[in-house]
């Protein structure tokens, strides 16, 4: 991808006379990937739910329709943990949370996000929370992960939060995080069982903690 700044672009905005639709056009995108990422950024900044889709136009139309049918619902920690225990690929349930959110599609729960205090003690301060779990079904509408990230961000921001962090495995692309403007911070230290902070009371060691991971963050 070629990076570019606002100085590289031109923009026009007008109102259609017959429909009163507002049309905004940006010119100067160096390539399709830049245009896709810029669109995602603008739509999220405006507060709209926008989901990047694959290259097939028919599939785009189908997934766009499906994604627009997603509904956000509040969840208890017990409800969210039950979903995580059943469907998460490599993580177990959480001990606690600040809040949990579900994504519902046609009356069915298709994804959950659990948000709590940062696991790393040095990052645990008043205005920072961590997305501890983001878990979606394989057949959930494309963009469900980004949908849940975006909703979690909005909730924490409305509570006065200043920063939100999360982690991915080094083998994961982080595309859902990029879609909502998270930044890659650093590769984090791994821990074997019964070492480091995993020896503290109420800390549950999980196998994933012995696998290299990346920390991501977003300033609010």
pLDDT score for 204: 59
Read off the tokens for 208: 């994933």
For residues 175 and 207, what is the distance between their CA atoms, to the nearest angstrom?
23
Strand partners, 186: 215
What topology does CATH give the domain 69-219?
Aminopeptidase (3.40.630)
pLDDT score for 172: 87
Element (H, E) at 20: none
How deeply is 46 buried, as exposed, middle or buried, from its count of CB atoms within 10 A (0-12, 13-18, 19+)?
exposed
Read off the tokens for 75: 């969840």
What's the longest Cα–Cα distance across the chain? 68
Per residue of the chain (220 residues), give pLDDT as tens. Answer: 445 555 667 888 888 888 888 888 888 888 877 777 777 777 666 666 555 554 444 444 444 545 567 899 999 999 999 999 999 988 888 989 999 999 998 899 999 999 999 988 889 999 999 999 999 999 888 788 988 999 999 999 999 999 999 999 888 889 889 888 899 999 887 766 666 555 666 655 566 666 788 999 999 9
Residue (of 166, 138, 139, 137) closest to 150 by Cα position: 166
Sequence-ordered strand ranges (E) for 106-142: 108-116, 128-136
User: Model pTM?
Assistant: 0.67
pLDDT score for 61: 45
């Amino acid at each position: 991808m070629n990076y570019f700044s606002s100085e590289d672009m031109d923009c026009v905005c007008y109102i259609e006379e017959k429909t009163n639709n507002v049309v905004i056009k940006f010119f100067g995108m160096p390539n399709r990937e830049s245009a896709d990422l810029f669109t995602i950024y603008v739509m999220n900044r405006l507060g709209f739910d926008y989901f990047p889709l694959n290259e097939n136009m028919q599939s785009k139309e189908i997934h766009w329709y499906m994604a627009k049918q997603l509904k956000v619902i509040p969840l208890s920690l017990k409800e969210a943990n039950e979903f995580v225990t059943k469907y998460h690929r490599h993580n177990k349930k959480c001990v606690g949370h600040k809040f949990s959110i579900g994504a519902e599609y046609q009356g069915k729960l298709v994804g959950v996000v659990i948000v709590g205090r940062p696991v790393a003690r040095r990052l645990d301060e008043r205005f920072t929370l961590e997305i501890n779990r983001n878990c979606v079904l394989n057949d959930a509408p494309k963009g469900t992960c980004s949908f849940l990230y975006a909703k979690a961000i909005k909730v924490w921001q409305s509570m006065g939060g200043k920063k939100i962090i999360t982690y991915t495995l080094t083998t994961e692309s982080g595309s859902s995080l990029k879609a909502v403007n998270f930044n890659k911070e650093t590769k984090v230290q791994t821990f074997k069982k019964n070492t480091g902070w995993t020896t503290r009371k109420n800390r549950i060691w999980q196998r994933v903690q012995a696998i290299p991971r990346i920390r991501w963050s977003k300033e609010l």
